[in-house]
A and B are shown apart, each in its own frame.
Chain A
Amino acid sequence: DQQVKQNSPSLSVQEGRISILNCDYTNSMFDYFLWYKKYPAEGPTFLISISSIKDKNEDGRFTVFLNKSAKHLSLHIVPSQPGDSAVYFCAALDSGGGADGLTFGKGTHLIIQP
């Protein structure tokens, strides 16, 4: 049973426009959420995170929004740039749980069109 879901395998956005990547989760014990970016043949790199006590976190062009009641988070990238083309993984953590480790979604391949 998938606890973190990214329902869009791919997304194409024009350069300069806003990219919105979505993520849903089912485990109400998750209290920390992260986004990772991955280029081909490289490991994922940390992008931005948010604690469940917040509903928004911003870092430059990247903003993550969390809607706890809907168990939904989204990553906004504005303006989108060609270097943003990558696979984006949503990840979640139950920091009070017995097991360690992040639970990842399947990823969304973002393609920025010139």
Chain B
Amino acid sequence: NAGVTQTPKFQVLKTGQSMTLQCAQDMNHNSMYWYRQDPGMGLRLIYYSASEGTTDKGEVPNGYNVSRLNKREFSLRLESAAPSQTSVYFCASSPARQGRGYTFGSGTRLTVV
């Protein structure tokens, strides 16, 4: 089925380790996003990419980097993981910059110990 695919689904990291969360969409959407969801906090935007080759910071970008590798793929990197980055991460895409009709992936549950 068409949609947004995130890998991995689960990950445990030690403090200071690095990792990259992968996201790919096959809907030919221009815009892609990374959100994190924490208990009682809703979803908060980390970074977004309005089109291939462009990325911008969202509400909570500190400690993260992103790469829009091509139109399909948008990765999120944690260079030095911290316990505060324990969260569920969602990637999303939308056809237009205005963010309407987001399609979300199923999430990556990350625990930093």
Kindly identify, within residues 17 to 59 of chain B, every residue whose CB is under 8 Å from any CB belonging to chain A.
31, 33, 35, 40-45, 48, 50, 56, 58
- Determine if B97 is an interface residue (Cβ-Cβ < 8 Å): yes
C-alpha gap A6/B41 in the complex (Å): 11
Neighbour of A89 across the interface among B43, B50, B105, B106, CB < 8 A: B43
User: A104 and B4: CB pair below 8 A?
Assistant: no
Per a CB cutoff under 8 Å, which of B56, B97, B101, B104 touches A43? Answer: B104
Q: Closest approach, in angstroms, between the C-beta of A104 and any C-beta of chain B?
A: 4
B-side contacts of A6, CB under 8 Å: 42
Is A32 an interface position by the 8 A CB rule?
Answer: yes
B40 to chain A, nearest CB (A): 6
B contacts with A, residue count (CB < 8 A): 27
With A41-B106, A43-B4 known to touch, is A101 a contact of B98 (CB < 8 Å)? no
Binding site for A on B (CB under 8 A): 4, 31, 33, 35, 40-45, 48, 50, 56, 58, 90, 92, 97-107
C-alpha gap A48/B33 in the complex (Å): 20
Q: For the complex, would chain A's binding face be called helix, strand, loop or mixed by DSSP majority?
A: loop
Interface size on A, residues (CB 8 A): 25
Residues of B close to A34: CB separation below 8 A: 100, 102
Min CB gap B17→A, angstroms: 24
Q: Write out the residue numbers on chain B whose beta carbons fall within 8 Å of the beta carbon of A99.
A: 56, 58
